[in-house]
Amino acid sequence: MYKKFQNSRSSGGRSQFNSNSRGSAHSGPRRNFSRGSGRNNFAKAIDSSRFVSEAKTGEVQAVYVPVNNFLDFKISEKLKQNIIDKGYTTPTQIQDETIPYVLDGKDVIGIANTGTGKTAAFLIPLIEKVYKNPVEKVLIVTPTRELAFQINEELIAFSKGLNISSVLCIGGSGMFRQVDRLRRNPQFVIGTPGRLKDHIQRKSLNLFNFRNVVLDEVDRMVDIGFINDIRYIVSLLPAERQSLFFSATVDDRTRTILASFVKNPVTVSVRTAKTSENINQDIIKVKPGQKVDQLHDLLTQDGYDKVMIFGRTKWGIEKLTKILIERGFKATAIHGNKSQGQRQAAITQFKSGIVNVLLATDVASRGLDIDNVSHVINYDVPATHDDYVHRIGRTGRAGKVGSAVTFIE
């Protein structure tokens, strides 16, 4: 599992790159990076042996055979066509089992890993409901701006030609523009708890008429301190409503939210193995002053096709991005000092392949759903093991095998 990495710099200094490649590896001595316990304070807080694991690729996993296909669902022909146009063929398990219950008006608790297709599982039936009755209103609450944006993108694609409108209520974008969009009475409001609370207190958002509500990735919202905001939002919802609750886990804190949120719910659990079990995990011991050079060496290896790099600070990530660009890598960054437009532009560039290296602070380790990330590199050791799990969860998604490397100083 542990690899030797080719030194990609010549003895004369920094290698040169053309604009059409990540980097060109020059001949040079091969060297071993040995495993070892970290001297970094964060590494001491987390046993570095927890960063070393081999993906369990040898285990045979049962292939789910759906009961339905998308053409079977009791939805409009235009919506079916939009689903086909988006490239969806057969439902995932969470979609197959959840969509019929939501179409029947049931409250649903969905227990599912990120990357299982749950966004479509709630959007498709809710779009159908709004299409049949345009006065219906839907509130979708998510933990991060990026996830809210992705849900809205999915909504726009699925509802094409159905005369359905939406607004994003998230931080990092103009409050007054959001107020203006809310005044136009959109059927879907998608937002993060803090910004939704701001709109409620400004009286630009009244939840009285929202009879369809989705809490998505509740465990993450609780983890990052939104539990009181969620309780506040739930307390303002009408008593008669359809409530959909999605979480990867349900512990005591999320259970308290659940108790006040759903009535006679149907539980659909399709949680599979932990995401980390699909990921080859390793560490590299780096010497003082050689961290950037060793990152450079990694990025020039075969297979590092779509890479996310995580660091602790906004300043550090911004500086490292500039260094990599100077060295010829196609890289961009997202962090808290970037506007929402800048962050979304960076994600779009990464998804489309315009850049193949995305650097981020932990703000991006939750909620991002990006296909085919080949590697996650922890340039800085995460503060907690939960942060580590969320970071590396950007690879090895949807049953695919990914790779994660953690630098230990």
Kindly report, residue by residue over 186-213, the tens digit of the pLDDT: 999 999 999 999 999 999 999 999 999 9
Q: How far apart are CA 126 and CA 75, in angstroms?
A: 10
- What pLDDT is recorded for position 382? 87
Residue 72 lies in a domain: no
Whether 61 shows a pLDDT value over 60: the answer reads no
Whether 180 shows a pLDDT value over 70: the answer reads yes
**Are 209 and 193 within one domain?**
yes
- What pLDDT is recorded for position 47? 60
- What pLDDT is recorded for position 249? 81
Amino acid in the structure at residue 221: M
**Are 290 and 373 within one domain?**
yes
Contacts of 193 by beta carbon, 8 Å cutoff, 6+ apart = 141, 143, 221, 226, 229, 230, 233
Q: How far apart are CA 244 and CA 261, in angstroms?
A: 9
Number of domains within the chain? 2
pLDDT digits (tens, 9 = 90+) for 305-332: 999 999 999 999 999 999 999 999 999 9
Query: What is the pLDDT of the chain when averaged over all its residues?
Result: 83
- What pLDDT is recorded for position 49? 60
- What pLDDT is recorded for position 34? 35
Which of these three, 207, 240, 269, is where a domain ends?
269
Which of these three, 211, 243, 269, is where a domain ends?
269
Residue 232 lies in a domain: yes
**Residue-range definition of the domain harbouring residue 25:** 4-59+276-408
Residue 64 lies in a domain: no
Least confident of 57-61, 208-212, 228-232, 342-346: 57-61
Residue 171 lies in a domain: yes
Q: pLDDT-derived band of residue 39, with 50, 70 and 90 as boundaries? A: very low
Residue 69 lies in a domain: no
Whether 13 shows a pLDDT value over 50: the answer reads no
**Are 241 and 370 within one domain?**
no
pLDDT digits (tens, 9 = 90+) for 391-405: 888 888 766 788 999
**Are 297 and 349 within one domain?**
yes
Whichever domain contains 41, its CATH number is 3.40.50.300
**Are 356 and 254 within one domain?**
no
- What pLDDT is recorded for position 338? 83
pTM: 0.70
**Are 134 and 261 within one domain?**
yes
**Are 36 and 105 within one domain?**
no
- What pLDDT is recorded for position 367? 63
**Are 223 and 252 within one domain?**
yes
Which of these three, 269, 284, 307, is where a domain ends?
269
- What pLDDT is recorded for position 266? 96
User: In 10 A of CB 227, how many CB atoms?
Assistant: 17
Residue 362 lies in a domain: yes
Q: pLDDT-derived band of residue 219, with 50, 70 and 90 as boundaries? A: confident
**Are 222 and 312 within one domain?**
no
Q: How far apart are CA 259 and CA 107, in angstroms?
A: 12
Residue 66 lies in a domain: no
Residue written as tokens 């369990």?
A: 56
Residue 70 lies in a domain: no
**Are 259 and 130 within one domain?**
yes
**Are 184 and 293 within one domain?**
no
Q: How far apart are CA 205 and CA 183, in angstroms?
A: 9
**Are 281 and 264 within one domain?**
no
pLDDT digits (tens, 9 = 90+) for 161-176: 999 999 999 987 889 9
